[in-house]
């Protein structure tokens, strides 16, 4: 899935007020500013990040110390943790002012606005350390794809300019009927700051997992992480499954078809294929097309 660090930041950070407030806090208070998400955790609104002072930290603190502090829950009201549960800092390097964090696979569970805000918090926090001018992030030693691995400076995050309005995007979704005799449909609109195909795929999967808004239908799947890595090969959307996802989609034909039909409603997707390493892989081999019957 697309891993961007900087896209949407102008839209998500209410930059003018935020810049002034954060700059004042950092110059007046001793210690280190630790950044968290601020405002509505679902939409984040315009005040996407906020900071609380860590009196025990300083520009001389180690990267490990600061990362461990960022994993703690904020003490101030209105701030919330952004790092995913269980994420670990495997290693880090600092070269020519660029700090590279090598994080564990849990970081890949972030997407869309959550990924953007979390990355912004890391940049704003880590660039206070001595010698750190920019931040790069890898996961299990692998760079994040599609150019997002370009190191970000504090100035890249604290952008100024007009706030970009979100776009309203409509999705045709398919859900199993309550008696599991077939599929029903539901049209839903939502606001997206990024309307790229990858983010639309993410949104479809999240909506299917959340369930329908009308009676007579059921969620396409439950008790699964509402995120799958995706890539396009021509007009085929390839989803990388975990074992739990593979088990559900292998056993529940209607859940699989609801997912396929919903994704095939996207303009650039004509078919869906699945990829994973594990037992029973042959049960989901091949390419799946929409079936509206």
- Crossing angle (nearest 10°) for helices 197-210 and 253-264: 140
pLDDT of 26 reads: 46
pLDDT of 103 reads: 95
Residue with tokens 């794809």: 145
Highest mean pLDDT pick, 186-195, 204-213, 270-279: 204-213
Give percent above pLDDT 90 in the chain.
47
Average pLDDT over residues 230-252: 91
Angle in degrees, CA 90, 94, 95, rounded to 5: 135
pLDDT of 100 reads: 95
Convert the pLDDT of each residue in 125-139 to its tens digit: 999 999 999 999 999
Q: At 277, give phi and psi (nearest 5°).
A: -105, 120
Give percent above pLDDT 70 in the chain.
79
Q: Which residue has the higher pLDDT, 44 or 174?
A: 174
E strand or H helix at 205: helix 197-210
Q: At 265, give phi and psi (nearest 5°).
A: -75, -20
Query: How far is residue 282 from each of residues 155, 246, 273, 279, measured CA to CA in Å?
Result: 49, 11, 12, 8
Question: How many CB atoms are closer than 10 A to CB 165?
Answer: 9
Tokens in use for 238?
A: 């390839």
pLDDT of 2 reads: 32
Convert the pLDDT of each residue in 88-144 to its tens digit: 999 999 999 999 999 999 998 887 677 778 888 999 999 999 999 999 999 998 876
Convert the pLDDT of each residue in 29-87 to its tens digit: 578 999 998 865 444 444 478 899 999 999 999 999 999 999 999 988 888 898 999 99
pLDDT of 208 reads: 92
Convert the pLDDT of each residue in 267-287 to its tens digit: 899 999 998 876 555 568 889
E strand or H helix at 253: helix 253-264
Angle in degrees, CA 112, 116, 118, rounded to 5: 115
Q: Cα(224)–Cα(216) distance, rounded to whole angstroms?
A: 22
Q: Cα(244)–Cα(280) distance, rounded to whole angstroms?
A: 12
Convert the pLDDT of each residue in 6-44 to its tens digit: 334 433 443 333 433 444 344 445 789 999 988 654 444
Look up residue 84 and give its DSSP letter: P
Q: How many CA atoms lie within 13 A of 30 on its CB side?
A: 2
Summarize the chain as % helix, strand, coil (round to 5).
30, 25, 45
């Amino acid at each position: 899935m697309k891993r961007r660090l900087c896209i949407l930041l102008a839209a998500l950070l209410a930059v003018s007020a935020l810049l002034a407030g954060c700059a004042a806090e950092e110059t007046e208070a001793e210690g280190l500013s630790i950044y968290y998400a601020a405002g509505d955790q679902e939409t984040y609104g315009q005040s996407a990040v906020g900071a609380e002072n860590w009196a025990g930290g300083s520009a001389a603190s180690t990267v490990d110390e600061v990362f461990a502090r960022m994993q703690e829950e904020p003490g101030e009201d209105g701030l919330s943790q952004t790092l995913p549960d269980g994420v670990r800092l495997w290693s880090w390097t600092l070269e020519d002012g660029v700090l590279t964090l090598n994080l564990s696979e849990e970081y890949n569970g972030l997407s869309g606005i959550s990924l953007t805000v979390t990355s912004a918090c890391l940049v704003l926090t880590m660039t206070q350390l001595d010698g750190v001018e920019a931040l790069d992030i890898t996961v299990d030693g692998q760079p994040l794809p599609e150019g997002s691995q370009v190191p970000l400076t504090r100035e890249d995050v604290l952008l100024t300019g007009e706030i970009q309005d979100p776009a309203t995007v409509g999705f045709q979704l398919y859900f199993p009927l309550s008696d599991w005799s077939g599929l029903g449909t539901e049209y839903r609109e939502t606001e997206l700051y990024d309307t790229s195909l990858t983010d639309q795929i993410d949104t479809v999967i999240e909506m299917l997992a959340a369930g329908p808004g009308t009676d007579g239908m059921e969620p396409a799947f439950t008790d699964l992480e509402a995120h799958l890595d995706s890539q396009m090969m021509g007009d085929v959307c390839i989803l990388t499954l975990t074992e739990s996802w593979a088990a559900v989609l292998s056993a529940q034909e209607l859940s699989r078809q609801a997912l396929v039909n919903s994704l095939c409603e996207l303009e650039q997707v004509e078919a869906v294929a699945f990829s994973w390493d594990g037992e029973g892989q042959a049960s989901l081999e091949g390419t799946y097309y929409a079936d509206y019957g």
